[in-house]
């Protein structure tokens, strides 16, 4: 069973049913809500690919080179624009927003793409994007990284889910915060509620990988089995 899930987990990781790979994000939010503690805000870096890219930019690396390295490491989709569009994060944000009771759809989420439409898949091939398109983004991204650093912050690609809606895109966060300390392809989620107002509940761990995702899916299957067995 576990070996079968390993073989299929790459696709499952990008489905509508995965938030944080094997991390207990949904379970934690559900438990907090069930306790009567209203969740006011969720801020999360939910893409292992973009988490890696953003943390590598802090070291002064060019955006284009970091994305190419991420692709070589197997962190990105075959076309990195599938990750850079932010839609994967938006799908996960939608799940969490609905979990908080928001009656929204993808059209209600403001998603910031890391590349303009003139570099989109309808305009240029994946090969052209990697060879020439990516480099056109270096200067703009570098300016944003430097501006954040001057304010003592770092850039992260996050979803922000609050009472007024959901946004997905680049955001400056303090260097000493859980999101600011993020390195590599980990996922990090900060959950704010009445009990976790000044010090959020932080969930962090591997956000990508077949083994991690397979373990999370297996845990979900076991939970479903327990649920059905509990029914009369």
Is 92 one of the annotated active-site residues of the chain?
yes
**Considering only CA atoms, which of 222, 163, 184, 232 is closest in space to residue 27?**
222
Backbone angles phi, psi at 58, to 5 degrees: -60, -25
From first CA to last CA, the distance across the chain in angstroms is: 27
Spatial CB neighbours of 87, under 8 Å, sequence gap ≥ 6: 111
Q: How far apart are CA 22 and CA 212, in angstroms?
A: 5
b/e map of 150-178 (b: 16 or more CB within 10 Å)? eeebbbbbbbbbbeeebbbbbbbbeeebb
C-alpha of 46 from chain center: 2
Catalytic residue among 92, 136, 144, 175: 92
**Considering only CA atoms, which of 223, 204, 184 is closest in space to residue 69?**
184
* Active-site residue list: 92
């Amino acid at each position: 069973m576990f070996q079968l899930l390993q073989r299929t987990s790459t696709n499952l990781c990008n489905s509508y049913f995965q938030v944080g790979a094997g991390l207990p994000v949904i379970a934690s939010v559900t438990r907090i809500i069930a306790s009567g503690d209203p969740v006011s805000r969720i801020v999360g870096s939910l893409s292992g690919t973009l988490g890696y890219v953003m943390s590598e930019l802090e070291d002064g690396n060019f955006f284009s080179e970091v994305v190419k390295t991420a692709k070589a490491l197997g962190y990105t989709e075959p076309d990195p624009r599938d990750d850079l569009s932010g839609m994967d994060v938006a799908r996960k944000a939608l799940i969490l927003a609905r979990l908080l009771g928001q009656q929204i759809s993808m059209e209600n989420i403001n998603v910031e793409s890391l590349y303009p439409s003139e570099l989109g898949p309808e305009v240029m091939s994946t090969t052209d994007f990697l060879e020439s398109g990516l480099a056109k983004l270096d200067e703009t991204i570098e300016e944003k990284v430097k501006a954040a650093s001057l304010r003592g912050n770092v850039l992260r690609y996050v979803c922000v889910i609050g009472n007024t809606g959901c946004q997905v895109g680049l955001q400056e966060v303090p260097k000493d915060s859980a999101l600011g300390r993020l390195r590599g392809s980990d996922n990090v989620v900060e959950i704010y509620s009445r009990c976790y107002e000044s010090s959020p509940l932080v969930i962090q761990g591997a956000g990508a990988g077949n083994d991690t995702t397979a373990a999370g899916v297996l845990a979900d299957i076991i939970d479903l089995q327990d649920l059905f067995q509990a029914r009369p």
